[in-house]
Amino acid sequence: MDIREIAKITHVSPKTIRYYEEIKLLPPSRRRPNGYRVYARVDVDRLNLVAGLRRLDFSLSEIKELLDLRDRRIAPCRALLDQINKKAVEIHVRMEELQKLEQDLKTLHSLGLTFPTDDIEGKNCVCHLVSTQSVSGEGDYGN
Q: Residue 25 falls within a domain, yes or no?
A: yes
Q: Residue 113 falls within a domain, yes or no?
A: no
Q: What pLDDT was estimated at residue 135?
A: 59
Cα angle value 68/42/59 (rounded, 5°): 40
User: Percentage of residues in the chain with pLDDT exceeding 70?
Assistant: 93
Per-residue model confidence as pLDDT tens digits over 2-20: 999 999 999 999 999 999 9
Give the range of the structural domain holding residue 33, as residue numbers without chain letter.
1-74
Is the predicted pLDDT of residue 136 greater than 90, yes or no?
no
133 vs 58: CA distance, rounded Å? 33
Contact 25, 31 (CB under 8 A): no
Q: Residue 100 falls within a domain, yes or no?
A: no
Is the predicted pLDDT of residue 142 greater than 80, yes or no?
no
Q: Residue 5 falls within a domain, yes or no?
A: yes
Q: What pLDDT was estimated at residue 118?
A: 85
Confidence of residue 81 (pLDDT cuts 50, 70, 90): very high
Q: Residue 64 falls within a domain, yes or no?
A: yes
Number of domains in the chain: 1
Q: What pLDDT was estimated at residue 11?
A: 96
Q: Residue 12 falls within a domain, yes or no?
A: yes
Confidence of residue 128 (pLDDT cuts 50, 70, 90): confident
Q: Residue 15 falls within a domain, yes or no?
A: yes
41-50 average pLDDT score: 96
Is the predicted pLDDT of residue 121 greater than 90, yes or no?
no
The model carries a pTM of 0.74
11 vs 137: CA distance, rounded Å? 43
CB burial readout 18-30, b (16+ within 10 A) else e: eebbeeebbeebe
CB neighbours of residue 58 within 10 Å: 19
Q: Residue 68 falls within a domain, yes or no?
A: yes
67-72 average pLDDT score: 96
CATH number of the domain at 63, please.
1.10.1660.10
23 vs 87: CA distance, rounded Å? 23
Q: Is 140 exposed, middle or buried (0-12, 13-18, 19+ CB in 10 A)?
A: exposed
User: Percentage of residues in the chain with pLDDT exceeding 90?
Assistant: 76
